[in-house]
């Protein structure tokens, strides 16, 4: 007998039919002899609809009231899931985040969990009750309702699994698992049986958004195995876990492309000590996240500095860059928002060489120009023209042997 946390995303509880299906799964797990904690998200598009409603009233809603509003979505789901379980004849009780003592800091709409009071959950589990907890929400030290940021129900589930020392945390969602690339862009993408926390953290930040990044960080820190699977079928999903030695045999686990960045170049910056510090000090002061940076070798004592920022911050970044240009006596500021970042990720890169070379060769064969390159221990990223992004993605996917091999089906009459 084990303790299992099961999280159901918004699409998995979107309507009565799906809530009944979720309840059936929960009861099956319970009947197999397990204690079960369930975490649910708001139904379907509820959270988006609530945000739209608030925006119709004001351009600048108070974040405290926003949390009060958004937390209602999950509160509806937990009650309905509990009722559906009762209808099947099994004991269940629903709780809001506050009721089970999920205490967060006070940063409304992006709060972080500080600690969880396990007493009430444990008491119910001991009685043999299925415990249903509202995802995405908590309370701060003054009992104000807080929320954890969009997609935060994953984090509630993982945090509960960690603190309750659950044997497994199932994430039921609307996809079959985690793929080698986004299947909408790469039809030959293959489902991964297993992937490490580090790989998924890199892939998630690259736009392969399957799970809330913070939930993976949590899972990694507390070593909670996550099993991502579809709530619509019984297919095997993907296990996200600590890396094991044999996982390094696979050099590249996934490829991803993101079009969320823009590139800025400050041309002809005088090449004297301290310039880079000044540039990035100003950018950081505006809370703009810089991803890649390159500086050319200087010509006549002047160098070009190029960096990428989130596209959503481009305007602010350009204003800042103009000011820096004047202060430093640089020549001009250029920018390009039609760029894409193509990345390959794999823990096997640590022990294999030639990965970067292979990626560059593929892009060369496709006649795609590389504008910037950055690497980490388990990732290589290239900035390219965004018009070629999807073609580049497919070519790299094929080159690293990630394409799925269709099983030959010989149907003879």
Return residues touching ligand ASP (CB under 6 A): 10, 41-42, 47, 73, 135-136, 150-153
In the block, tokens 């104000």 appear at: 144
Q: Could you give the C-alpha distances from 347 to 236, 254, 394, in angstroms and in order?
A: 23, 10, 21
Alpha carbons 304 and 78: distance in angstroms, whole number: 55
Q: Could you give the C-alpha distances from 196 to 7, 9, 50, 129, in angstroms and in order?
A: 20, 22, 35, 33
Beta bridge partners of 299: 302
Measured in whole angstroms, how far is the alpha carbon of residue 44 from the centre of its chain?
19
150 binds, among ligand ASP, Mg ion, none (CB under 5 to 8 A by kind): ligand ASP
Q: Which is nearer to ligand ASP, 136 or 172 (CB)?
A: 136
What is the total count of residues that contact Mg ion (CB under 5 A)? 3
Q: Which is nearer to Mg ion, 205 or 343 (CB)?
A: 205
Minimal distance in Å, beta carbon 148 to ligand ASP?
8
Alpha carbons 324 and 279: distance in angstroms, whole number: 6
Q: Which is nearer to ligand ASP, 205 or 215 (CB)?
A: 215
Alpha carbons 280 and 350: distance in angstroms, whole number: 30
Q: Is the dihedral of CA 214, 220, 222, 228 positive or negative?
A: positive
Q: Which is nearer to Mg ion, 34 or 41 (CB)?
A: 41
Q: Among residue numbers 11 through 50, which ones bind Mg ion (CB under 5 A)?
A: 41
φ/ψ (deg, to 5) at 51? -65, -45
Q: Which is nearer to Mg ion, 34 or 173 (CB)?
A: 173
152 binds, among ligand ASP, Mg ion, none (CB under 5 to 8 A by kind): ligand ASP
Minimal distance in Å, beta carbon 41 to Mg ion?
5
User: Where does this chain touch Mg ion (CB under 5 A) — which range of 2-10, 18-26, 102-110, 385-393?
Assistant: 2-10
Q: Which residue is nearest to ligand ASP (CB)?
A: 153
Among 10, 97, 177, 254, which residue sits at the site for Mg ion (rule: CB under 5 A)?
Answer: 10
State the residues that interact with Mg ion by CB under 5 A: 9-10, 41
């Amino acid at each position: 007998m084990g303790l299992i946390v099961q999280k159901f995303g918004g699409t998995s509880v979107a309507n009565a039919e799906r809530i009944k299906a979720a309840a059936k799964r929960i009861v099956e797990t319970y009947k197999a002899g397990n204690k079960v904690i369930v975490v649910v998200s708001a139904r379907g598009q509820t959270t988006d609809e609530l945000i739209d409603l608030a925006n119709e009233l004001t351009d600048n809603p108070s974040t405290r009231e926003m949390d009060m509003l958004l937390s209602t979505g999950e509160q509806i789901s937990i009650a309905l899931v509990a009722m559906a379980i009762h209808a099947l004849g099994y004991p269940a009780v629903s709780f809001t985040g506050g009721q089970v003592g999920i205490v967060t800091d006070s940063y409304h709409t992006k709060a972080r969990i500080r600690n969880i009071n396990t007493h009430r959950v444990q008491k119910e589990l001991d009685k043999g009750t299925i415990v249903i907890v509202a995802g995405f929400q908590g309370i701060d030290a003054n009992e104000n309702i807080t929320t954890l940021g969009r997609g935060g129900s994953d984090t509630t589930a993982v945090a509960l699994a960690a603190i309750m020392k659950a044997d497994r945390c199932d994430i039921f969602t609307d996809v079959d698992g985690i793929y080698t690339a986004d299947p909408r862009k790469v039809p030959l993408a293959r489902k991964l049986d297993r992937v490490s926390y580090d790989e998924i953290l890199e892939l998630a930040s690259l736009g392969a958004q399957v799970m809330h990044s913070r939930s993976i960080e949590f899972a990694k820190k507390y070593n909670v195995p996550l099993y991502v699977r579809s709530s619509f079928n019984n297919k095997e999903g993907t296990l996200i876990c600590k890396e094991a030695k044999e996982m390094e045999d696979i050099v590249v686990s996934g490829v991803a492309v993101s079009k969320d960045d823009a590139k800025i170049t400050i041309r002809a910056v005088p090449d004297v000590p301290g310039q880079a510090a000044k540039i990035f000090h100003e950018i950081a002061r505006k809370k703009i996240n810089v991803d890649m940076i390159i500086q050319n070798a200087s010509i006549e004592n002047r160098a070009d500095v190029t960096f990428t920022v989130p596209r959503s911050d481009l305007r602010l970044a350009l204003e800042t860059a103009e000011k820096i240009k004047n202060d430093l006596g640089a020549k001009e500021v250029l920018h390009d928002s039609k760029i894409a970042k193509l990345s390959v990720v794999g823990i096997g890169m640590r022990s294999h060489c030639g990965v970067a070379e292979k990626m560059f060769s593929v892009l060369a064969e496709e006649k795609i120009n590389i504008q910037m390159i950055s690497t980490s221990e388990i990732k290589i990223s290239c900035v390219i023209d965004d018009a070629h992004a999807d073609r580049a993605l497919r070519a790299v996917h094929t080159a690293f042997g990630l394409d799925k091999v269709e099983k030959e089906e010989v149907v003879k009459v």
